[in-house]
Amino acid sequence: MSQNNVDTTAIRGLVAKYIEVIARSTADELVSLFTEDGVIMAPDAPTMEGTEQLTAFFNHAFTTIKIDPKIYIDEVVVSGDYAFARCHSEVHVTLLEPKASHSEANRELFVFRKDGGEWKIARYMFNKPQTAN
């Protein structure tokens, strides 16, 4: 198996792990999947940078919502110690108070960086696709 295939497989595995951990609502474990300077750019929210801000973001989120994501990888591109995965998702969100839920579709972009020989999430951004009129 070529190095590119090994890296692509590892990145697909990291996205699968991200899905598992976010569904368990475990902030510390989720943040461990990111580089120390990791960044999240979520819609209608400030940019979160670094371990401390990501931990606070996820801890707060998990006190208000439960997330059940299904992320589908559209492409993975690897170039040296960087890679990206363009994805789309179907996410079931449950508000913990009041008990209400909804589903939403998102576009997702993960940027990965090798950190100590291991792939980690360096940047993550998601938004809702525009619907056709």
pLDDT for residue 55 is more than 70: yes
Split at pLDDT 50, 70, 90, the class of 133 is low
Split at pLDDT 50, 70, 90, the class of 76 is very high
pTM for the model stands at 0.93
Residue 25 per-residue DSSP state: T
Q: What is the mean pLDDT of the chain?
A: 95
Direct distance between the N- and C-terminal alpha carbons of the chain, in angstroms, rounded to an integer: 45
Interval 78-98: pLDDT, tens: 999 999 999 999 999 999 998
